[in-house]
Structure 1
């Protein structure tokens, strides 16, 4: 079979969640599958993959609206047997067998965290993906439940394929004092700086934590600017917390292992996630995790994290106090995290994807 893949996300230089998971799964798939032929579509050449007669990079030049213009035209002229989009944005022209990955339904369930344009476009592309796809891939049981509940997608039409830890996570330790002067004892948040991540409550909870902590502790917020970023910065200033809440708009991937490892733990009580790759990163770094007691976060953590109500500011501050003061709890969560991490593997996910091709 010839499997076509929208591989445009492999071109992103500063990769975050979706780009990282897409890149990892495609690489694992190409390594394991020695039978099928793969056409990787992209607007410019892809580096870092060894292409040959069976694995080809189909370069389709184009910029604006590349998926529905340039890629659609290419698929109209020459169609693979199966087309997979690692997101819910599908070209107009498709083979009979199309597959789309749905990462989450945050734009639908938390509309206040997105612009009107983003919400309408995301809902449209999701509904179209549901209509034209032979199979949908959900990245968690939670996303599968949401598709069934809110869009009436039959369960048999959805395959759950988990993410795993990024393969480049094991990096040499860096000198934090040089790269992040002034950073001392700290908790860390990694992810987009947007309202949906519940950062307003994280900030409020951390301010309350500071009042009760026995020693100075900082909070490092690291991630790109998202919807509501201005409100997040405004709250930090209103609470006069600039002295101990540090905001970085991007944390380089090679810095993350050390930043996690040297922290007091990951604080990630998001209101909604499709998965939560940073939970696995914290597990790998050997630090405890505070995350939400609901949805995909509780699913991924599966008892290996300190779960809190994301709407309860006191629970957030109390959770940080527990991790700061209770070393037995810290060590217990760290060990459980290491065990839980073994359940997520890119090769296993690629095998499930290969089985999906065969069963279409």
Structure 2
């Protein structure tokens, strides 16, 4: 087969969820499949994190904006390649084109009512773009992939799709995420304290940053020796606005706000944390909770959306809208050493169910079935 894969953002330095899914899957396909020919279509960027091999070719397409890249540069490149199929990996695809199309639709959050207004103009424009493009490309998709059974059923019901056209393929996690003996050299870049709690927060309403900070504030009031909270991906000004909104301005002294933490440093940061908070309102999968579990870090996570499917029944599942439940989970981990050890052992066992190689093999089987 001749397979074209859209991976527009994998060379940008500040990668996020969908970028890592595409990158890790392509790396595994590159390792396990030397028979088929791949054309990886990327945007320009400084982080050259993927190398060519005899059957994997990287084509860099330069364009001033993502919509123009996807709707003009990408279809022109696909016409030149003439692949047996085109796989678009990040929710959207060219509206026009003749190549058989496989779409990874990670979620349909962009079609759902928002719990709060998103203050990020970039994220709001992305939401509008997806709302415009996705309904137009679905009729021409040969197959649609999503990342959990929860999201598969939600997409199928909301969009009235034939069940045979949509498949759930779980994500994996990178084996770099594992227990480490020494982490202080890395964690000192982000905060001076040796012990801390960790949260990946931003201004996206689904990440539940206000609700998580309410839970943390309750924990601080009830703990005899509260730990600081390291919050990645949240600027100090945004944190202050949220704390003002929830009436917890004094909490700013306990937050550590370094901004973006590179993925290369995350294994050490997870390892150094006493607990990881993954208290989102809505997730289609949730790779960070697997990464933390694989590092031997207890995870306090949500009982909503696809999160329990991935975390499993033995995880610490809380109502993310209830600050008392978040605080109670943190306090139990802090005060009950036997429970803490149980959660560490549970997480290390749970992550054995997930790997990028498994994801890639299921994807390759889908490619073969589609072309056949």
TM-score under structure 1 length normalisation = 0.91
Write the distance in 2 (CA, Å) between the matches of 1:299 and 1:240. 36
8 Å CA contact 1:195, 1:232 repeated in 2: no
Q: Is 1:79 aligned to 2:82, yes or no? A: yes
**Contact 1:184-1:217 within 8 A present in 2 as well:** no
**Equivalent residue number for residue 337 of structure 2:** 327
Question: What's the CA shift for 1:252?
Answer: 2.1
Cα deviation 1:167-198 (Å, max 9, x = unaligned): 44358734257423433432111254432111
Asked whether the 8 Å contact 2:142–2:165 carries over to 1, the reply is: yes
Tell me, in whole angstroms, the C-alpha distance in 2 between the residues paired with 1:233 and 1:208. 13
Distance 2:212 2:250 in 1: 15
CA distance in 2, matches of 1:49, 1:255: 19
1:241 CA drift (Å):
0.4
State the match for 2:313 in structure 1: 303
Structure 2 gaps of 5+ residues are none
Say if 2:300 and 2:317, in contact at 8 Å, map to a contact too.
yes
Q: How high is the TM-score relative to the length of structure 2? A: 0.89
2:64 equivalent in structure 1: 63
User: SS of the residue aligned with 1:241?
Assistant: helix
Using the TM superposition, name which of 112-121 and 80-89 deviates more. 112-121
CA distance in 2, matches of 1:146, 1:260: 31
What's the secondary structure of 1:107's corresponding residue? Answer: helix
**Could you say which residue in structure 2 is the equivalent of 1:198?**
208
SS at match of 1:240: helix
Q: Could you tell me whether the CA contact under 8 Å between 2:218 and 2:327 is conserved in 1? A: yes
Q: Secondary structure at the match of 2:251?
A: coil
Q: 1:80 to 1:176 in 2, by over 3 A?
A: closer
Q: Find the aligned partners of 1:181 and 1:295 in 2 and give their Cα distance.
A: 32
C-alpha distance 347-130 of structure 1, shift in aligned 2 (>3 A): same
Q: Give distance in 1, aligned partners of 2:83 and 2:18.
A: 24
Question: May I ask how many residue pairs the two structures share in their alignment?
Answer: 358
Counterpart contact for 1:101–1:137, Cα < 8 Å: yes
Query: Distance between the aligned counterparts of 1:106 and 1:223, measured in 2?
Result: 20
Q: How do 1:1-360 residues align onto structure 2 when only pairs under 5 Å count?
A: 1-44=1-44, 47-64=48-65, 65-111=68-114, 112-114=116-118, 117-169=125-177, 173-175=183-185, 178-223=188-233, 231-232=241-242, 234-235=244-245, 238-360=248-370
CA offsets, 1:190-219, max 9 Å, x none?
Answer: 254432111111111111111110113111
Which runs of 5 or more residues in structure 1 are unaligned? none
| Rounded Cα–Cα distance in structure 2 between residues aligned with 1:291 and 1:264 | 14
**SS at 2:309 equivalent:** helix
- Aligned partners of 1:109, 1:49: CA distance in 2, in Å? 34
Determine if contact 2:41/2:60 at 8 Å carries over to the other structure. Answer: yes
Runs of 4+ residues over 6 Å off in structure 1: none
| Partner SS for 2:4 | strand
Cα deviation digits, residues 278-297 of structure 1 (max 9, x gap): 10111111011111112211
Q: RMSD value over aligned CA atoms?
A: 2.3
